Chains A and B, each alone.
Chain A
Amino acid sequence: NAGVTQTPKFRVLKTGQSMTLLCAQDMNHEYMYWYRQDPGMGLRLIHYSVGEGTTAKGEVPDGYNVSRLKKQNFLLGLESAAPSQTSVYFCASSSYRANYGYTFGSGTRLTVV
């Protein structure tokens, strides 16, 4: 049981380049999330999805787009990377049941130069 898998684990981008981060979960969870983790700022929600074909903005959505074409996958896209997007990105999933916690992926360390 793999849980939540993120690819890639590391990436270096030049300013203005684009990329897509992939998150896959095999727990049949309804909800999926993308967070960014920055020193001194904790985890901040970028976008989330409550089901296949639906997405919604979180706390810091600017500069990112997402898609959830299949229930098990949640993609995070950067159209034109900026140095301010240098961060560690975590994907997570959860069941619709209210008192269950999240299952996190191992993270993607992105550096934009």
Chain B
Amino acid sequence: AQRVTQPEKLLSVFKGAPVELKCNYSYSGSPELFWYVQYSRQRLQLLLRHISRESIKGFTADLNKGETSFHLKKPFAQEEDSAMYYCALKPLGLTGGGNKLTFGTGTQLKVEL
């Protein structure tokens, strides 16, 4: 079974400071990792997929298989980045099981002025 751990419930940073939201996972096979974001009073939305190696809203995340991590980073935090962030895992390549995602417990990012 897979597991996703987000060790920080709350992360508070000042505007312009670097941000790193931690995500560690345990899974015996090859994982596919995602970051989802939930802004206040809005629905969850996909932020990043590791497989696409993209940068969205200045955020990047690199899959480190050696450390089993998929940390989310941004060099300069903005006030509008304040939100709840969830890391999620799906076994790579398996579609018969319905693309089920396992979510972490989430980290609330607060960007202060």
Contact = CB atoms under 8 A, between A and B. Distances in A.
* A, B: real partners: yes
Highest count of chain A CB atoms <10 Å: which of B96, B99, B100, B101: B99
B85 to A, nearest CB: 11
Interface residues of A, number: 28
Contacts, number: 62
B44 interface: yes
A12 B73 CA distance: 39
A24 to B, nearest CB: 14
A105 B5 CA distance: 24
A83 to B, nearest CB: 21
Contacts of B90: 98
Contact of A42 (B43, B100, B105): B105
B49 A99 contact: yes
Nearest to A100: B99
Contacts of A89: none
A56 B46 CA distance: 24
**Interface range for B:** 20 to 34
B45 interface: yes
29 contacts: A31-B99, A33-B98, A33-B100, A35-B103, A42-B103, A43-B86, A45-B100, A45-B102, A48-B98, A48-B100, A50-B98, A56-B98, A58-B100, A96-B99, A97-B95, A98-B90, A98-B92, A98-B93, A98-B94, A99-B51, A99-B52, A101-B36, A102-B36, A102-B44, A102-B46, A102-B101, A104-B43, A104-B45, A107-B43
Interface of A: 31, 33, 35, 40-45, 48-50, 56, 58, 90, 92, 94, 96-102, 104-107
